[in-house]
Structure 1
Amino acid sequence: MSTPVVLVAGLHRAARTAAVDALLARRPGSVAVHHDLAEVTRGRVRRIVRDGGRVLETADVRLAHGCVSCTVREDLLPRLVLLAPGASLLIVDLWDAVEPRSVAEAIGGAEVREVLRLTAVLTALDAGDLPGDLTRGERLRELGRPAAASDRRYLAEVLSRQVEYATGLVLHGGDEDDHELSLRVLTHLAPLTPVHGVAGLPTVTGPALRPAELAERVDPATARLPADATTEEIVTTVWRSRRPLHPGRLFEAVDELVTASVRSRGRFWLATRPGQLLAWDAVAGIVSVEDAGPWLAALPKAAWDLVSPARRAAAALDWDPEHGDRVQHLVFTGPDLDVERLHDLLDSCLLADGESPGHDDPFAPILDLKQIA
Structure 2
Amino acid sequence: MEIVPNNGDDRTPVVLVTGLDPDAVARTAGAFVAPGTTLVHHDLSELDAGRVRRTLRTVDDDGNERAHQHVLLLEHGCVSCTLRNDLLPLLRHLHRRAGVARIVLQLDCALEPEALAFAIDHAIVSDMPGFPDAPAGDDVRIDATVACIHEGDWLEAATGDTTMAEAGLSATVDEGDERTIAQVAVGQVAFADALVLVGCDAALRDAWESARLAAVLKRLAPSAPIIMETPHRQMNPILAAQLLAGIPAGSRRGRIDSPHDPLLRDQPPLDADCGVEIVAFEADRPFHPARLHEAIDQLLDGVVCSRGRLWLATQPDAALWLESAGGGLRVGEGAPWLAALSDAELEDVDAERRALAALRWDEVHGDRHSSLVILTHRPEQPQAIVDALEGALLCDDEMALGQAGWQGFDDPFGLAHTDPCDDLPRVADIELTNREDNR
CA shift, 1:295, in A, is: 1.0
Question: Which of 71, 93, 98 is the equivalent residue of 2:106?
Answer: 93
Question: What is the alpha-carbon distance in structure 2 between the residues aligned to residue 316 and residue 341 of structure 1?
Answer: 32
Is 1:141 the counterpart of 2:165? The answer is yes
Question: What is the alpha-carbon distance in structure 1 between the residues aligned to residue 409 and residue 105 of structure 2?
Answer: 48
Residue in structure 2 matched with residue 154 of structure 1 by the alignment: 180
AA aligned opposite 1:360:
F
Residues 26-77 of structure 1: CA deviation (Å, up to 9, x unaligned): x323221100011235431001122478661112111323334323333223
Residues 117-144 of structure 1: CA deviation (Å, up to 9, x unaligned): 3322222222222211111211111111
Residue in structure 2 matched with residue 236 of structure 1 by the alignment: 278
Question: What is the alpha-carbon distance in structure 2 between the residues aligned to residue 72 and residue 205 of structure 1?
Answer: 28
Question: What is the alpha-carbon distance in structure 2 between the residues aligned to residue 224 and residue 144 of structure 1?
Answer: 33
Is 1:47 the counterpart of 2:54? The answer is yes
Is 1:329 the counterpart of 2:355? The answer is no
Question: What is the alpha-carbon distance in structure 1 between the residues aligned to residue 413 and residue 136 of structure 2?
Answer: 41
Change (3 A) 1:323 1:205: closer
CA shift, 1:95, in A, is: 0.8
Residue in structure 1 matched with residue 151 of structure 2 by the alignment: 127
Bigger share in helix:
1
Secondary structure class of the residue paired with 2:172 = coil
Retained in 1: the 8 A contact 2:182–2:325?
A: yes
Residues 76-119 of structure 1: CA deviation (Å, up to 9, x unaligned): 23333444422232101111110112322343454445643332
Residue in structure 1 matched with residue 411 of structure 2 by the alignment: 362
Q: What are the equivalent positions in structure 2 for 1:179-328 lying under 5 Å apart?
A: 179-197=210-228, 198=235, 199=239, 200-203=242-245, 214-216=255-257, 219-225=258-264, 228-309=270-351, 311-316=353-358, 318-328=360-370
Secondary structure class of the residue paired with 1:274 = strand
TM-score of the two chains, using structure 1 as the length reference: 0.86
Change (3 A) 1:192 1:262: same
Is 1:344 the counterpart of 2:399? The answer is no
Question: What is the alpha-carbon distance in structure 1 between the residues aligned to residue 417 and residue 79 of structure 2?
Answer: 28
Residue in structure 2 matched with residue 172 of structure 1 by the alignment: 198
Question: What is the alpha-carbon distance in structure 2 between the residues aligned to residue 371 and residue 123 of structure 1?
Answer: 26
Change (3 A) 1:371 1:145: closer
Residue in structure 2 matched with residue 163 of structure 1 by the alignment: 189
Retained in 1: the 8 A contact 2:89–2:136?
A: no
Question: What is the alpha-carbon distance in structure 2 between the residues aligned to residue 254 and residue 267 of structure 1?
Answer: 13
Unaligned runs of 5+ in 1: none
Once the two structures are overlaid, the 10-residue window that deviates more, 336-345 or 347-356, is: 336-345
Question: Which of 74, 80, 83 is the equivalent residue of 1:72?
Answer: 83
Secondary structure class of the residue paired with 2:322 = strand
Q: What are the equivalent positions in structure 2 for 1:108-123 lying under 5 Å apart?
A: 108=121, 110-113=134-137, 115-123=139-147
Retained in 2: the 8 A contact 1:171–1:179?
A: no
Q: How many residues are aligned here?
A: 368
Retained in 2: the 8 A contact 1:119–1:204?
A: no
Retained in 1: the 8 A contact 2:22–2:109?
A: yes
Question: Which of 65, 74, 84 is the equivalent residue of 1:63?
Answer: 74
AA aligned opposite 2:332:
E
Change (3 A) 1:301 1:127: farther
Change (3 A) 1:187 1:126: same
TM-score of the two chains, using structure 2 as the length reference: 0.74
Retained in 1: the 8 A contact 2:289–2:413?
A: no
Change (3 A) 1:102 1:313: farther
Change (3 A) 1:114 1:236: closer
Secondary structure class of the residue paired with 1:363 = coil
State, as a whole percentage, how many aligned pairs show the same letter.
Answer: 36
Residue in structure 1 matched with residue 44 of structure 2 by the alignment: 37
Question: What is the alpha-carbon distance in structure 2 between the residues aligned to residue 205 and residue 256 of structure 1?
Answer: 35
Retained in 1: the 8 A contact 2:320–2:333?
A: yes
Retained in 2: the 8 A contact 1:278–1:292?
A: yes
Question: What is the alpha-carbon distance in structure 2 between the residues aligned to residue 316 and residue 171 of structure 1?
Answer: 42
Q: What is the Cα-based RMSD across aligned positions, in Å?
A: 3.2
